[in-house]
């Protein structure tokens, strides 16, 4: 299973963060990345805590023939199309698309290859809560921990709430 995390807290050409996430998912689909399942959208506090606007976040499961390196390049291209500028770590942004996991692969990264699974995904409520909706039986390929167990280990100060329709 290939899992992507999408988020943003600034407007883009598509509109506010929720519209940007939907437009980015459409851009993935048009690029040949098949969307298998989507979580609800979540409203989340910045991590680490800061005074920047809250985020909208979502996790999706996808299918693609692109290898991890090429998929990551596509994600960065789509981020740029929606105005993403990489100025500071953990800064406000219009769109962030993370490659969270790729068919259970474990990679240390380097030489253009992404780190798999995403190194900070287990520390983020904004990833794990929507991930539980998309892949409730997913297990971390290195530790073997379940999503349920990873959520239980999260710091209690992280706020991630589903946005109800």
Domain CATH code at residue 35: 3.30.70.560
Averaged pLDDT for residues 45-56? 88
Q: pLDDT band for 114, please (50, 70, 90 cuts).
A: very high
Range of the domain at 98: 2-162
Give yes or no for a contact between 163 and 41, defined as CB atoms under 8 angstroms apart.
yes
pLDDT averaged over every residue in the chain: 94
pLDDT of residue 165: 58
Nearest to 98 by CA among 79, 81, 82: 79
In the chain, % of residues over pLDDT 70: 98
Domain count, the chain: 1
Q: pLDDT band for 53, please (50, 70, 90 cuts).
A: very high
């Amino acid at each position: 299973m290939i899992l992507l995390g999408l988020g943003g807290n600034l407007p883009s050409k598509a509109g506010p963060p929720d519209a940007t996430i939907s437009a980015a998912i459409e851009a993935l689909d048009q690029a040949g990345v098949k969307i298998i399942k989507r979580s609800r959208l979540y409203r989340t506090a910045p991590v680490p805590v800061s005074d920047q606007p809250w985020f909208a976040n979502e996790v999706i499961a996808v299918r693609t023939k692109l290898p991890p390196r090429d998929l990551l390049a596509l994600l960065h291209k789509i981020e740029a199309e929606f105005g993403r500028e990489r100025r500071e770590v953990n800064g406000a942004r219009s769109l962030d698309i993370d490659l969270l996991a790729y068919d259970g692969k474990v990679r240390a990264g380097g030489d253009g290859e992404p780190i798999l699974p995403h190194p900070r995904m287990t520390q983020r409520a904004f990833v794990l809560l929507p991930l539980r909706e998309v892949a409730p039986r997913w297990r971390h390929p290195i530790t073997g921990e379940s999503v349920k167990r990873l959520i239980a280990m999260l710091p209690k100060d992280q706020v991630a709430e589903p946005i109800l329709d």
